[in-house]
Amino acid sequence: MISKSDEKPLACWRGKDRLGPEILDSLTIIFKTGGCSWNKCRMCSYRHERFGDGTPESLAALVRDQVNWVLAHHPLETYQMVKIFTSGSFFDPDEVPPAMVDEVAATFRGKVVVAETRAEYVDGDRISRFVAAIDDGTYTIPLYIAIGLETTSDQISDKSINKGSTFARFREASETARKAGAGIKAYLLMKPLFLTEQEAIDDMVRSIEEVSPYADLISMNPCTVQSRTEVEQYWKQGAYRPPYLWSVLKVLNAVDRDVLCDPVGGGRSRGPHNCGACDHDIITAINEYALTGDRELIRAAAATDCACKEEWEFVCSHEQSHCMPLTR
Amino acid sequence: MISKSDEKPLACWRGKDRLGPEILDSLTIIFKTGGCSWNKCRMCSYRHERFGDGTPESLAALVRDQVNWVLAHHPLETYQMVKIFTSGSFFDPDEVPPAMVDEVAATFRGKVVVAETRAEYVDGDRISRFVAAIDDGTYTIPLYIAIGLETTSDQISDKSINKGSTFARFREASETARKAGAGIKAYLLMKPLFLTEQEAIDDMVRSIEEVSPYADLISMNPCTVQSRTEVEQYWKQGAYRPPYLWSVLKVLNAVDRDVLCDPVGGGRSRGPHNCGACDHDIITAINEYALTGDRELIRAAAATDCACKEEWEFVCSHEQSHCMPLTR
Amino acid sequence: MIFEIRSRDGLARSGILREGETSLRLPAVVDASSFFSTSLDRPFTNVPLGAPQGLAEQYLVAGEHPTTVHPQKPVPVPDGDIAMVANWHTALQNPRQYVDWLISLKTDVRADTAWYAPAAALPSTVWMLIATGFDLFDTTAVDLKSAQGIFCLPEGEFPADLLDQGVCACQGCRDHDLKVHNRLALEAEVNRVGVFLQKGQLRELAEARCRLNAAQVSVLRHLDNHYDFVEQWTPVARTATFKANSGDSMNRPEVKRYMDRLLTRYIPPSAEVAVLLPCSARKPYSRSQSHRKFINTVAGRAHEIIITSPLGVVPREIELCYPAAHYDVPVTGYWDREEVAVLADVLAKYLAKHQYRRVIAHLEGGAMQVAAMAADICGITLECTVRDHPTSGGSLSALDAALAGERRVRSDQIKGMLSFQFDADVDTAGMQVRGKFPRLSVMRNRRPLFSLDTTTGMLRPTFEGWSLIPRGYRVVIDDFVPQGDILAPGVLSADPVIREGDEVLVEGPHALATGRAAMGAFEMARSNHGVAVRRRKVMKR
Amino acid sequence: MIFEIRSRDGLARSGILREGETSLRLPAVVDASSFFSTSLDRPFTNVPLGAPQGLAEQYLVAGEHPTTVHPQKPVPVPDGDIAMVANWHTALQNPRQYVDWLISLKTDVRADTAWYAPAAALPSTVWMLIATGFDLFDTTAVDLKSAQGIFCLPEGEFPADLLDQGVCACQGCRDHDLKVHNRLALEAEVNRVGVFLQKGQLRELAEARCRLNAAQVSVLRHLDNHYDFVEQWTPVARTATFKANSGDSMNRPEVKRYMDRLLTRYIPPSAEVAVLLPCSARKPYSRSQSHRKFINTVAGRAHEIIITSPLGVVPREIELCYPAAHYDVPVTGYWDREEVAVLADVLAKYLAKHQYRRVIAHLEGGAMQVAAMAADICGITLECTVRDHPTSGGSLSALDAALAGERRVRSDQIKGMLSFQFDADVDTAGMQVRGKFPRLSVMRNRRPLFSLDTTTGMLRPTFEGWSLIPRGYRVVIDDFVPQGDILAPGVLSADPVIREGDEVLVEGPHALATGRAAMGAFEMARSNHGVAVRRRKVMKR
């Protein structure tokens, strides 16, 4: 029997996600957990989210309660995809007790699950076990391991994100996951700290190319300034500017591959933004592209004109690493 | 016997004056008197000089004491010309008791006397009597009546000076004096209040021409800002500027006639002045011309150049009556 | 010639001077000898500004155009003529007289007359001439400087060798022609001042420009001291930011008027507890993060009053009113003694007029000094709830605790704003505020009464709204029905309290109209031209 | 590259940047990509100004030219290189950090290094950059504005349609080319700021320019609050007028230094009676008509002390010392409370240090308020002698009567000036002052000791004069005999109290020299180039 619980996830919402040609109803859950073990990424605000008293027992109870809350509020039959995030890594045993991972798997059996984790927690046995638990044959790939690779440049990863991981480790994790029957979703972060607009564009184009062989899905997140992050400190000092939406379009246009992109906070000063006049239309185009994969939408949006385009072109060609950002 | 007295004239100094071709040693005396009866000229600071208790007796004693002081300090044999000024009119019986006028005449018998008075006090009898008293045959014209005509324009005389007299009255006085055997010295005031630089120049050129038939000597005084005068009030408000020395030169150059000119306070902001750089040389030239009558000095001075000459030319051509002075 | 004034900023105006087919945008520099032809050729007519009345009356020439005006002799300037303030260039060095003479002239001369200041305009002086209501200038002063070998800039006069130092990029500088440079510099400055005038930020420019010339600072200060005079010309609201960037900003007529209306007009909600809060950089305050915390903590249990510089006291209800939502100040943390004393005086008067049972000072720094000094003056005791910083958890808890058990105050923003704007005590029972802050409109029984102009913080009454404001802010017209804006000659009388930007009710025997005053009452009474009221709605009756 | 600094004004410098045969007058705007070629092409090297020390140390690239300096990482800038303060454009909106970072950098980096602020210079910001010690700028920021369609002026940024409104007469405006206009406007402003810098009136310009930008006002005020830092860079005297045209003038380092020296250095004559006098517009005071009356009335029977704003207290003996004979203020008759309190504090400290038996206040208005407040603070009683106006007959008679029977004070101007300038207590017995005031020289036994520089109010000692000043103001050089000016690298050590403009004694094993410091001691210790002391006389030994 499922007991109703007051322990809600950090967030939980319904949406639609494209998986190949299909559009699935999806449920996104951000679980409260013990918190990220690494916990040092410059743009991450989840690192303040640490729950429980540190014992595996309390953590287990915490996760179980949240699963129950989800079941109570979002009937299983109303969605086909479950996207699981924590404040860190779903497969980090210190963060989510393995027993609870099993329980989650059992709960969402028959669905496509996307679960986020750092590469170092992609353990062949753990993944196989999870895949086995959810797979009822409905989907060829019932589990996608989502890894925040952010960039394929270890140099940028180190300095701009302080990710504490490498592209090589991602590739290993990808191999491990695939062997275990899971797919790989790579998250890339567009324009972390300390990059010029052009460096950020170049980084994404290169990263998408380089990550392609190792990822089944690629999602590019234009950086958004979260509260209580290092990025926010720099942003307040005028030392950081989120990417232009023009830049997002440019990257999406420049690569051959289908790339998911949800410009969270788009059009606001803390999120990817242009001048305010053209932001809305561009965001609409990107969102529609995310659902349809229709690259023409991106091409058309990139070809529109606005008074701010000249500014963006100037920034791309003149912003230099020693002196940036040129705009806010 | 001449008793020494402590009652000094307001001022008394020695100098040299040209009379026709001759240069005479002169004594200038400014007597304390009862004060000017008119007493309303805008540029005049002597109007504050009023002495005695108003009785003719006290005035007589006052003047006698001063004459005695002069005799004691300036032996009669050391000068040939006496220039007598009061705070008003030497021949005004209310200001200088007639008995004292006689006494002065007796004292300076044998000298050339120049005595200043307003035109209305030029009375045929009074003048004849004075001429008779001083004339010992040394000089053809032993007495010159000096009259502050200031300008031949009654309009300017009225508005800019508030002289309370007219050119016509001056002409009558001139006729009266000449009939009585005296000469006429006309004082002209260059640039009283409310005139532009060019109006002032034109006024002097015209006045010199018009006064010539009626005056034996012409002295042009460039206006100086005296303390406690109406002119001073305007000057402090920036509403009055004394004439440029360039203008003085221009007038002296423009007329055919020999004109005396002593640029009192020259080169200072309260007196006729240019920019400060060229003032000294021009004043020297004017002073030398006053003694020698050498008009070439004036021509040469007017032809010199200075950075301020362009300013002066601009002022002459652009200063308009409704908006002046343009400079300080 | 007709001077159509298009925009105003204090005494300054810009507009079009029209004669037949030709027109000239004012303020402007003209070549006087061609513009006025020979009509300025008036020999022997000089009458200095400081001349006594007798002299002025005796010697001022009447009947010539432009008409010479003089502080000692009220000359009626004929309609269609320009007023020439002869000799005004001599006023620039006499700050006290400058202001006295100006007041005399501005009071005498018809308001829609263009003012010509001959030979007075230099790039360094023309801002002040425009700011004090002059419109037309000539090149005499700059040409004189050229003759003197002096290089002119808005920053002052310099030796001519600046022509070679790259301080200006004009044609004159490139051609090494001082006269051309000086003229271009003057024209550019006139136009630059015009930009600030049209933005409504001429005062900001003035506070900057004056700093290189002590006499100009004095003029500014003397003029500010004549509050009753300058206030008449000061718009009631602006859309531009009000930059209080110098000590002199505190003496702006807008600030004094704000304080005056706060103390004489504003009606607070009935409350026994007041909480004094610090201001925020973001305006209106309630949109700032800090004020959201304060509002949540106070939770309606006290009347919220913001203590701020340079306005002093801003009750929450009028935080949208000009200039409370419009000002910007440099923040250093230090409030100087003049500031503290002036603001404490306002707060003390406010607290003396509106007596609260408890006054909680949730303040720190300069604002706390202000509150403490005010409390001293009116002999009340403050409760202080700030521990370290007003928004810290400890401070907010202390504030919450201090308010424990206090009753909810029935907040009444509309009453507050109406009292402040219209000097009216309106019964707001049954009124509802609709819309998302700050885009508010006020209804009663589903009928609109007032809407808020968010750029100025002014309430715009409907006819029904006007019916609740018993008196004041009326413009009386004759028996016509306005087809468009109401022009000045159509105004029979206007409430003297009306200022540019005020919401007014136009009343005539045949029509009522709502609208916004385009000029102050003072100017309506003294103008033959120009829009007096920009009409919004009209209703026959 | 060598930066030959030719003139200084506070932190600002102007001079010549020389590399081989080519030279550039600084401050200047350059095209960065051609000036620095590809040396600024440093991908992935960004380190924000606010980055912590660890990040700065890990990621700042060393060994590249120009050298990137950072507030958290003292980088030695090699001789001949330029210091680039990367990202400085982001500092402009953070006034407190701007100043903190600046102080950190200016303390670390060698003084004769040229400073490059990339992408920071706009016509509206460059005055502040120059005033805070930057020398080299690029066109990036203005070009960006052009791309954004923004028209730049020293007064701020505007919509591009100003291109058509005649606010500027440059080639760009005539050709309707925004980019050209913006670049020309920046260059002209740099050169215009340079003119004020060379006049020694950059502060005056700063007090004007800042008023259109609250952040700039804050930078100015924060910097003033760091007196110990800015004072080092402030010349001890200037020939230019010191215009105290805003409230901020009172916080100039010159004013604080004056007050400090008055209170710590100045030795008054031995007098039991002090008479406090008002200031005069004319400087030095004793040349004014009013002071001639005061001096005649006092007739030496009291120590004359002038009460004035913004300096506070000027004893007659040091009325020639900078800036007492150099300042100019707007006169309105009103002294604000901040002014009164600050000045009263100085007077109170003065009167507490130097106790007079009687203090006569021959004052009115604000100066009287100052005296009254000071008397309160130090618990003394003032005798007031002004009836209506200080120079009226009645007032002067009262002053005369109050001084009846008092002994003559032995005035000692030279002791006063020497104590103020050199912090020395010199026995002036037998010294005679020659010359016509203020062109004075001081002799003893017919040998000259000191002469007065009338433009600055500084006493110039001869070698014999120096022998009377036991310590301080010494510059130590090595074993050479100076053939001309003493260059910075030739200075072994310098008294830390030395400021630009100070009279100094140069001492080496082989020579003594008199001269004037061309830079402060702080800069002498941190420079490899430039004149440290302008030599006057040299003497082998």
D538: helix, strand or coil: strand
Q: Up-side HSE of residue B165: CA atoms within 13 Å toward CB?
A: 25
User: In this model, does residue A12 exceed pLDDT 80?
Assistant: yes
Find chain C residues with C-beta within 8 A of D245's C-beta: 210-214, 217
Show which subunits contact A, needing at least 3 CB pairs below 8 angstroms: D
pLDDT tens track, chain D, 541 positions: 899 999 999 999 999 999 888 999 999 999 998 999 878 889 999 999 999 999 999 998 778 889 999 999 877 888 889 999 999 999 998 999 999 999 999 988 889 999 999 999 999 999 999 999 999 999 999 999 999 999 999 999 999 999 999 999 999 999 999 999 999 999 999 999 999 999 999 999 999 999 999 999 999 999 999 999 999 999 999 999 999 999 999 999 999 999 999 999 999 999 999 999 999 999 999 999 999 999 999 999 999 999 999 999 999 999 999 999 999 999 998 999 999 999 999 999 999 999 999 999 999 999 999 999 999 999 999 999 999 999 999 999 999 999 999 999 998 999 999 999 999 999 999 999 888 877 789 999 999 999 999 889 999 999 999 999 999 999 999 999 999 999 999 999 999 999 999 999 999 999 999 999 999 999 999 999 999 999 999 999 8
Q: Among B34-38, C329-333, D312-316, D328-332, which range has the highest average pLDDT?
A: D312-316
On whether residue A1 sits in a domain, the answer given is no
**The pLDDT of residue A2:** 45
Q: Does A have 3 or more CB contacts under 8 Å with D?
A: yes
On whether residue A85 sits in a domain, the answer given is yes
| Gap from A140 CA to chain D (nearest CA, Å) | 41
| Gap from C42 CA to chain B (nearest CA, Å) | 6
On whether residue B67 sits in a domain, the answer given is yes
**The pLDDT of residue B3:** 46
Of the candidates D191, D255, D455, D212, which has an alpha carbon nearest to the alpha carbon of residue C211? D212
Find chain B residues with C-beta within 8 A of C40's C-beta: 320, 322
C534: helix, strand or coil: strand
- pLDDT digits 0-9 by tens, A199-221: 999 999 999 999 999 999 999 99
| pLDDT over 70 percentage in chain C | 100
On whether residue B194 sits in a domain, the answer given is yes
| Gap from B324 CA to chain C (nearest CA, Å) | 6
The CATH superfamily of C2-228 is: Queuine tRNA-ribosyltransferase-like (3.20.20.105)
The single-letter code of the amino acid at A74 is H
Show which subunits contact D, needing at least 3 CB pairs below 8 angstroms: A, C
Helix, strand, coil percent content, chain D, rounded in steps of 5: 35, 25, 40
User: Which residue, among C31, C36, C44, C72, would best test binding to B if mutated, counting the most B CBs under 10 Å from its CB?
Assistant: C44
Cα separation of C189 and A29, whole Å?
A: 62
On whether residue B328 sits in a domain, the answer given is no
Q: What is the DSSP string of C127-190?
A: HHHHHTT--EEESHHHHHHHHHTEEEETTEEEEGGGGGTTS--BHHHHTT-HHHHHHHHHHHHH
Q: Chain D residue with minimal CA distance to A318?
A: D140
Return the bridge partners of C358, or none: C273
Q: Chain D residue with minimal CA distance to A310?
A: D147
| Gap from A193 CA to chain D (nearest CA, Å) | 9
> Domain holding A60: CATH number?
3.20.20.70
Q: Do C243 and D332 touch (CB under 8 A)?
A: no
Q: Does D have 3 or more CB contacts under 8 Å with B?
A: no
The 10 Å CB-count burial string (b at 16+, else e) for C356-392 is bebbbbbbbebbbbbbbbbbebbebebbbbbeeebbe
**Around Cβ D62, how many Cβ atoms within 10 Å?**
10
| Gap from D167 CA to chain C (nearest CA, Å) | 4
Q: Up-side HSE of residue C437: CA atoms within 13 Å toward CB?
A: 10
**The pLDDT of residue A55:** 84
Please tell me if the domain spanning D247-403 has the same topology as the one spanning D419-540: no
Ranges of each domain in chain D: 2-228, 247-403, 419-540
Find chain D residues with C-beta within 8 A of C192's C-beta: 153, 155, 167-168
On whether residue A69 sits in a domain, the answer given is yes
* One CATH from 2.30.130.10, 3.40.50.2000, 3.40.50.300, 3.40.50.740 for D419-540: 2.30.130.10
Q: Do C46 and B196 touch (CB under 8 A)?
A: yes
Query: What's the domain range around B253?
Result: 11-318
- Beta pairing, strands A217-222 & A260-261: parallel
Q: Residues D251, D221: contact at Cβ < 8 Å?
A: yes
D484 touches chain A (CB under 8 A): no
Measuring CA to CA, how many Å separate D496 from each of C527, D133, D461, D535? 68, 21, 19, 19
Strands annotated E in D236-357: 242-243, 273-278, 303-308, 312-315, 327-328
For residues D108 and C314, the model is more confident at C314
Helix, strand, coil percent content, chain C, rounded in steps of 5: 40, 25, 40
Q: Chain C residue with minimal CA distance to D244?
A: C214
On whether residue A67 sits in a domain, the answer given is yes
Q: Do D330 and C218 touch (CB under 8 A)?
A: yes
D49 touches chain A (CB under 8 A): yes
Find chain D residues with C-beta within 8 A of A159's C-beta: 44, 59
Mean pLDDT of A112-131: 95
User: In this model, does residue B39 exceed pLDDT 70?
Assistant: yes
Cα separation of B162 and B41, whole Å?
A: 5
Find chain D residues with C-beta within 8 A of A240's C-beta: 48
Of the candidates A131, A135, A158, A132, which has an alpha carbon nearest to the alpha carbon of residue A145? A131
Q: Up-side HSE of residue A262: CA atoms within 13 Å toward CB?
A: 8
- Report how many domains make up chain A: 1
- pLDDT digits 0-9 by tens, C211-255: 999 999 999 999 999 999 999 999 999 999 999 999 999 999 999
Q: Do B313 and C147 touch (CB under 8 A)?
A: yes
The single-letter code of the amino acid at B288 is E
Mean residue pLDDT of chain B comes to 93
Helix H, strand E, coil C: the string for chain B is CCCCCCCCCCEEEEEEEEECCEEEEEEEEECCCCCCCCCCCCCCCHHHCCCCCCCHHHHHHHHHHHHHHHHHHCCHHHCCEEEEECCCCCCCCCCCCHHHHHHHHHHCCCCEEEEECCHHHCCHHHHHHHHHHHCCCCCCCCEEEEEEEECCCHHHHHHHHCCCCCHHHHHHHHHHHHHCCCEEEEEEEECCCCCCHHHHHHHHHHHHHHHHHHCCEEEEEECCCCCCCHHHHHHHCCCCCCCCHHHHHHHHHHCCCCCEECCCCCCCCCCCCCCCCCHHHHHHHHHHHHHHCCHHHHHHHHHCCCCHHHHHHHHHHHCECCECCCCC
Q: Chain A residue with minimal CA distance to D90?
A: A238
User: In this model, does residue A5 exceed pLDDT 60?
Assistant: no
Size of interface C-D (CB pairs under 8 A): 162
User: Which residue, among D137, D155, D340, would best test binding to C if mutated, counting the most C CBs under 10 Å from its CB?
Assistant: D155
On whether residue A124 sits in a domain, the answer given is yes
Mean pLDDT of A7-35: 91
Residue C380, Cα to own-chain centre: how many angstroms?
Answer: 34
Chain A residues 136-155 with CB within 8 Å of chain D: 155
Q: Which CATH topology does C247-403 take?
A: Rossmann fold (3.40.50)
